[in-house]
Amino acid sequence: MPAKEIQGGDVIGAQVRRAVVGSISLAVVFTLWVVLSKESRTVEAQLPWQDDPFDILTSFDFVLPPVVVAVIVTRSVVLSSPGPTPIRRALELLRACAVLMALCGVTELSYWVAVLLGLHRSEWDTSTGWAIGGLSVLSVATVGAGMWLARATGAIRKSGQPSPHPDWLDDAVAAAVIVAGVSGPLRNPAQHFVVWVDQHVVALIRRRPALAGLALATVLSLPFVIVKWRVEHYPAVLLVLSFLLPVEAICAALWVAGRIISIPASARRQHPLGSTVAVGGCLGGVAVFAFHDALLTHPNPSGALLLLLGASLAAAVLTLFTYLALKRARH
């Protein structure tokens, strides 16, 4: 019977740990590099990728890689516990790391496009050279981390077939139990709270994953909007745009990533009409908005908001007709 577990001390276990640690380390360095270059006005003004559509990827790198890293670290708590590791857990961790590398890789590739096009060439200076040098190092590191992931994934697949459990939500609860067990005087209430979360919140996520994704996207977007409101004093139209754009992007990214790494376990098998159409609208809206400078003759907040809403609606309708046509073709 094919093995369903791997031993933490064997060669495959070491490959998995190296791939996971390498991916997390690269993502942390990449995110810090993006944030520091973006937040430094002097540096940003000399970058070839300072404008959309490149800048929209930069903005999402503030949120998406840290979220995926947090998910990976949560499951790694269980992975580091004594005893053999289920193949499913190791394989899905590697898938999550692949999503993380894809997020970094897509942004790096877009930056290279900006460099090759020579955008803002007249403004390049020494800081531009340092930024391109950093991009070169990160690009090579991303390829290296991807090779580690490929080797570890291949070794896992050859070692046996994954079992149905545990999935991500099972391991999230298990990680919470481990943390609650070392909470000292708060141990008992912490354990009771974990049980309540498992019975109510986790059960709701399993039943309504799209709703859970929307809630998480809203929570992640609100701090950004609050800063724009309280610190930068954005007008109402810009605040609405600043809220809808990240919510749409994060919802779509969570849906795609969830299907790749199976959060929840049924995500790869389910094709619900409502969430598919909604995600199609989100993807289309964000993709079109990324080129709003070129599409709008006279860019302004109202026009940008209408562009986002109109593109989202059009993409949703297109997704609906495509979904129904494919469903009819199958029957």
143-152 pLDDT, tens digit each: 999 999 999 9
Beta strands in the chain (DSSP E): 5-6, 85-86
Q: Is the dihedral of CA 325, 246, 54, 34 positive or negative?
A: negative
* pLDDT for 1 beyond 50: no
- Percent of all residues in the chain with a pLDDT value above 90, rounded to a whole number: 44
* pLDDT computed for residue 325 by the predictor: 93
244-266 residue pLDDT tens: 999 999 998 888 888 877 776 66
The mean per-residue pLDDT over the stretch 129-135 comes to 94
Q: How far apart are CA 137 and CA 148, in angstroms?
A: 17
How high is the mean pLDDT of the chain?
87
Helix then strand then coil, in percent of the chain rounded to 5, is 80, 0, 20
Q: How far apart are CA 27 and CA 21, in angstroms?
A: 10
Q: What pTM does this model have?
A: 0.80
Q: How far apart are CA 127 and CA 6, in angstroms?
A: 47
261-274 residue pLDDT tens: 777 666 555 668 88
The mean per-residue pLDDT over the stretch 86-111 comes to 91
CA distances from 239 to 15, 57, 199, 311 (A): 46, 19, 36, 19
Least trusted range by pLDDT, from 51-55, 146-150, 216-220: 51-55
292-306 residue pLDDT tens: 888 888 889 999 999
